[in-house]
Structure 1
Amino acid sequence: MEMPPFQEVLSATEAYLTTLNAILPLFHPGRLLQLIHNWYAYPGRRERTTWAAINVVLALAHRRIPSDEATLRESAAHYLHNAQTVLSEVIMGNADLLNVQILIGMVLLFQGAQDLKPATMLIAIALRLAHELGLHTRSAECLDTSQVLERDRVFWIAYILDRDISLRTSRPPVQREADIDLEWPSAQPEDGAGNVAQADGTFPFNFFQCRVRLARIQGEVYDFMVATRAGTMDNDQRDENIVRLNHILDDWISSIPPPFQPSSVLQAGQPNLCRNFAVLYSTHVACRTYVYRAHAMASRWMQSLQSFGRTVTRQGYIVPVPLPTPSLQDWEKLVDESRGYMRLFWAVERRDPAFIWMTACTYISGSVCLTANIMFEPCHASVEHDLSLVNLSISLLEDLIQQTGHEPLKDLRDACEELLHYAYALSPRADV
């Protein structure tokens, strides 16, 4: 059970604790550091699950440390592989909190992969172990406050991942809402876990609680817009759900203070803040596009735009625009939110593969919305700016195709290029 020198591990762990663990508090900092100290101080007491936990932390740290600042000698994949060699012991051993944390840490790593199957399987196992420990209920009142908080936070991170993977894969979540008996994370925790702040340390805001609330919305979007029963609802029921879900999404985004809205984050120039909120707003825009069935993989939406583009480029605006939203105001909101997210996407300095796979689909869906908006209103003031964002999405798709050779991505690129051709043809503001 090889491990890097103590100081290297300590440095990487501290980097993890001040970045990813600061917003998604999977580990209690003091207990994690004690675990690592004990590993090096007492070689005779070493356990393989502890080794797996440290390797997961190193892999997560590696994802957040710029390459020019890295002290670890191996890659994130190396440390993840080490943890995987102990997976059967983690799953089949006694249920304890550390085993759940190991599994959730691995899900966080696999969540940023092209293939979500490993993440899908591991989150199911993690939640079953969490249920065995009673993490989803108030069953730990005999423990001290910090231990109870750690258990609760571990469960809520599993909940976030479960809802996120469910919506991204269009498969049912594991955790039922009816089985949860926990208070939501505090917006003002005494230990500051989950807080983010401006560069000068002012205006703290609890990112973690905000993300849990968005996960709850993701679950509702799945239930009412994606699940099998959603396809059996009549138009009136569907319209009611669209209105209700949009109100929930409006309430969620309006609860975020001005310093952490997309335009403010963009101007703040804080790399970690920018990345974290880019992923957050990607999830929000994804929910919005699922509610309207206006995401890039929605064949009916794409086909309606292609048909509209062919007609109006040949015959003029003789047909109504195929708005996916109940009103023009709703459409303008979707376009504005897509544009704000897409600008934030390009402001992220380190767009590593994990970031790309978690956010690219939403970026491309937003690109389709901006292209459609030019087709609908070819003289609006942001045409040139929007076209620059759209052209970047074509480059993004080309990169993904080169990496995967995935045929559906090639079809999507061709469809996006067709729509972009119509946008250029229709807009006098487009610089051909």
Structure 2
Amino acid sequence: MKVASHARRRKACDLCVSRKIKCDLAKPTCSNCKLYGVDCGITEVTSPATTSRRKVPASETSPTNSSSTPSRDDTIESRLAHIEARLDQIAAEKPSGSSPHDATALNFQNFPEIRVYKASDMWNSATTLPCLGISPQFPTGAMLAQTGKLELPPLQEVLGALERYFDSYGRYMPLFDKRSFMKMTVDWYSENGGKELIPWAAINLVLAMTSRIMDDVPIEEPKLAQYMSNVQSVTTELMAWSGDILGLQVLLGMVILFQGTTNPQLAIVLIGSAIRLAQSMGLPSTRASDDPDESAQRRRVFWIAYILDKCGDDDMGILESCTGTIRFNYLRARSELAIIQGKVHNFLYSRTAQRLSQEQRAETKVRIEQLLSKWRSALPQELLRSDKLFQDYSTISVHLVMNMYNRYLECLYRIHGTFAFDETWIDRVRRYLSPAVIPTGDAGIDGRINQKEISSLPSAWSDCVEHSRLGLELSAFGRETEYSTWLHACCNLSGLIVLLVNIIEFPDQLSVMSDWSLIVRIRNKFDQMNAKASKEPFFLLQVAHELDRKASGQVKRLAHMSSLSHQEAAFSEPWANPDLMFL
């Protein structure tokens, strides 16, 4: 981030100041500038108070000393002339009487290279991961609309993808209404229909969601990257769109897409804009002119926004088993969980929570824990058994339940202070690596834990262990896609560390071998992710590998002690007495 010497006290970069949005001042590029694909900088601004105190001498205002003014005016005039010439050139690129074949076709191969920004690694501050962004050279949606170059695949191909989306993922997360979306798509392709920008972005979004979420297409695949770049190119227009809820819907869809990438920071930026837009539109209130279908859609969009921010009477949002015996209102359950997620943050992590006394915090924690437990107990028991879930539900249903359960686990981990990104918890976990806590022995056999050198385990530890097993089982055996793997990475890392700590503390439990098998599967998956996404090892993955060695040392210690006890028992028998062996 370029910062002028007189502007170091400013709290936001130029872009964030101009758009009146919060700036995180990340270096070298803040999140908003990364999203818009512009250079991040803070220009020098002279304080009005300082200017007013300075008395300008009369000599400085005299005509003889104003020679710089004409040159400055000439510079401005030349810049304006250059801009006008450029606009005329853009407008002239599409002749009025030319046919589509005469105009330059906007094929995917003709686009400038998509710029890849380096965003902070969510696992390790020393490394960076690639994150798609809009290159400053990339044509914006407004420019494409002016030149008539809003391109999409053939209509039949698009309709086929839309049908699959609305019959699967779109049925359980009803971001768009199928009937109105299909009509909008056909109208956009018609000869008499206007090639409007926001509908074009919405179609690109659904095509991207179909490819990424349902078809497990890698994010670097050119066609998917093009869809996502097309949507990103209209970000400015989406944030200012107020004609209907379509702009808000596209923003929320972008949040869903970016949550499943190597860096979800863009999703965090976008959801803030989406929530402000929803509030300005008065959601979820309905208007007198709204028909029932539109009112229902406005309510659904509001709750999806609420769910993503805390990241009925019809069949929308209903999960049904393959046998038809179980029907589960997924959207309602996610909305209820989102309310609990909000309480977890507000009452345990917000500034208001920091001002509570220890007694008040403890009481609040108990109440939220009860709400979370009540929510989980209301779920169909078949959803809490991995074998039944895999057997009775479709793949997309399994992925949706997996996502919901991981959000539940995140609440559980945060309440009890066992989330992998909780510094206090990770500092405690790393104490196991100290010889003062676990003496290192020969042949991988470590000494007993010195409990005086480490704090006690968090409350409800057994619940964290038990529930984390299901989360890891879903990820290990649930046929995760690349999208869902990144989406659930935080919770899976948390569960991995919880199970490893449990083996270190209790190496004699009967579940050690099955837990270890689960750990190996998840750890191998993270190793593959690490190898693909970054040259540097993830910090938390390194911690997990070191904990793995300590857990192995405790199991070996127990096995060694058991072996010694068997030998002692054998030598205690009369026939094993060395003095009697040669009689």
TM superposition score normalised by structure 1: 0.85
After TM superposition, the structure 1 = structure 2 runs for residues 123-134 of structure 1, keeping only pairs within 5 Å, are: 123-134=271-282
Instruction: Label 1:295 to 1:44 Cα distance change in 2 as closer, same or farther (>3 A).
Output: closer
* Contact in 2 for aligned 1:199/1:268 (Cα 8 Å): yes
After TM superposition, the structure 1 = structure 2 runs for residues 323-402 of structure 1, keeping only pairs within 5 Å, are: 323-326=456-459, 330-352=460-482, 354-402=483-531
C-alpha offsets along residues 174-203 of structure 1, whole Å, 9 cap, x if unaligned?
Answer: xxxxxxxxxxxxxxx232100001112231
Instruction: Label 1:361 to 1:27 Cα distance change in 2 as closer, same or farther (>3 A).
Output: same
Q: Counterpart in 2 of 1:13?
A: 162
Q: Counterpart in 1 of 2:413?
A: 289
2:451 aligns to what SS in structure 1? coil
> What percentage of residue pairs aligned between the two structures are identical?
30
Query: Distance in 2 between the 1:118 and 1:67 partners?
Result: 20
C-alpha offsets along residues 361-414 of structure 1, whole Å, 9 cap, x if unaligned?
Answer: 11111011111111221111111111122223433443343344486x633223
Shift of 1:323: 4.5
C-alpha offsets along residues 196-235 of structure 1, whole Å, 9 cap, x if unaligned?
Answer: 0111223111101101111111111111222234344443
* Contact in 2 for aligned 1:313/1:422 (Cα 8 Å): no
Q: Counterpart in 2 of 1:178?
A: none
After TM superposition, the structure 1 = structure 2 runs for residues 200-211 of structure 1, keeping only pairs within 5 Å, are: 200-211=323-334
Q: Which aligned segments of 4 or more residues in structure 1 are displaced greater than 6 angstroms?
A: 429-432
Shift of 1:35: 1.0
Query: Distance in 2 between the 1:239 and 1:406 partners?
Result: 43
Shift of 1:29: 1.1
Query: Distance in 1 between the 2:450 and 2:255 partners?
Result: 50
Match of 1:237 among 353, 360, 364: 360
CA RMSD of aligned residues (A): 2.6
> Which structure's residues are more often helix, by fraction?
1
Q: Counterpart in 1 of 2:298?
A: 151
Alignment of 1:4 with 2:153, yes or no, is: yes
2:419 aligns to what SS in structure 1? coil
* Contact in 1 for aligned 2:320/2:393 (Cα 8 Å): no
After TM superposition, the structure 1 = structure 2 runs for residues 71-82 of structure 1, keeping only pairs within 5 Å, are: 75-82=223-230
Match of 2:340 among 217, 225, 232: 217
The alignment of Structure 1 onto Structure 2 pairs a total of residues equal to: 399
* Contact in 2 for aligned 1:194/1:207 (Cα 8 Å): yes
* Contact in 2 for aligned 1:313/1:425 (Cα 8 Å): no
Query: Distance in 2 between the 1:333 and 1:111 partners?
Result: 27
Q: Counterpart in 2 of 1:47?
A: 196
Shift of 1:347: 2.0
* Contact in 1 for aligned 2:476/2:521 (Cα 8 Å): no
Query: Distance in 1 between the 2:558 and 2:307 partners?
Result: 41
Q: In the alignment, residue 458 of structure 2 is paired with which amino acid? A: T
Note the residue ranges of structure 2 that are not aligned, 5 or more in a row. 1-149, 441-446, 561-583
Query: Distance in 1 between the 2:493 and 2:474 partners?
Result: 14
Q: In the alignment, residue 467 of structure 2 is paired with which amino acid? A: E
1:75 aligns to what SS in structure 2? helix
Q: Counterpart in 2 of 1:97?
A: 245
Query: Distance in 1 between the 2:430 and 2:480 partners?
Result: 34
Q: Counterpart in 2 of 1:307?
A: 431
Note the residue ranges of structure 1 that are not aligned, 5 or more in a row. 165-188
Instruction: Label 1:53 to 1:411 Cα distance change in 2 as closer, same or farther (>3 A).
Output: closer
Q: In the alignment, residue 264 of structure 2 is paired with which amino acid? A: L
